[in-house]
Chain A
């Protein structure tokens, strides 16, 4: 097996790219996708450590993270569609007020 350090390094790089996407991009759908990338980086470390310690529990946690991500995407995309209907834009800079 490739040493687990390499997987942690790769995961750190992917997580940083996701965090940068959240900070830099202004399109809320792309920000959402960056969050998915960060979750995915965490999943990779889970599976790498599950393989290192030969424990299936790590894989079960990845399964739960996927479920939570699916629920989050369903609600989040519904929110984005609703915001688009009221503001005609999904640019996060336009969402600077609580009133509509």
Chain B
């Protein structure tokens, strides 16, 4: 239990640190690299939570495909350093105070519900392996899965139509 707690807190510190690095790095490429690190750390959390399939999907889809797309667009547009100074002076203080309020609210809810939430015990060794995930996906959730294919098709067509040059 204690090794798990130590692991959790060190990984959580790293996750929050990389997220803050993304928030405060002036260069957009650095922000992207921080976010890739954050996604990798969250994938380790998924592994700790008995979700190996989701962890690998996180690494390949999020940290791999999506973030490469981001890096590609940033470098294509040469937009590493735009948007450093906000136009209104009150924007940052207001945003910071709103963020602090949101965080305090969420943490208050979590702390006030302490002990009411169920504690996860040991799970079966087959829990969360690709076989059980696939079985649930293709039996119980087969209709949403098919709808997903339509969504991806629409997104693909939309991206092609949007980036087509108007001549």
- Residues on A lying within 8 angstroms of B by beta carbon are 1-10, 12-21, 23-30, 32-34, 36-37, 40, 43-44, 47-48, 50-54, 56-57, 59-60, 62-64, 66-75, 77-82, 84, 89-93
B50 CB to closest chain A CB (Å) equals: 6
Given A23-B91, A70-B61, A56:B110 Cβ within 8 A: no
21 interchain pairs, CB-CB under 8 A: A13-B103, A14-B16, A21-B22, A24-B91, A26-B86, A27-B82, A33-B35, A34-B23, A37-B22, A37-B38, A40-B38, A47-B46, A53-B118, A56-B127, A60-B140, A66-B61, A74-B156, A74-B158, A81-B73, A81-B76, A92-B83
**Contact indicator A63/B83 (Cβ below 8 Å):** no
Binding site for A on B (CB under 8 A): 4-5, 8, 12, 15-16, 19-20, 22-23, 28, 31-32, 35, 38-39, 42, 45-46, 48-51, 53-54, 57-58, 61-62, 65-66, 69-70, 73-74, 76-77, 79, 82-87, 91-92, 94-96, 98-99, 102-103, 106-107, 110, 113-114, 117-121, 123-124, 127-128, 132-133, 136-137, 140-141, 144, 148, 151-152, 154-156, 158-159, 162-163
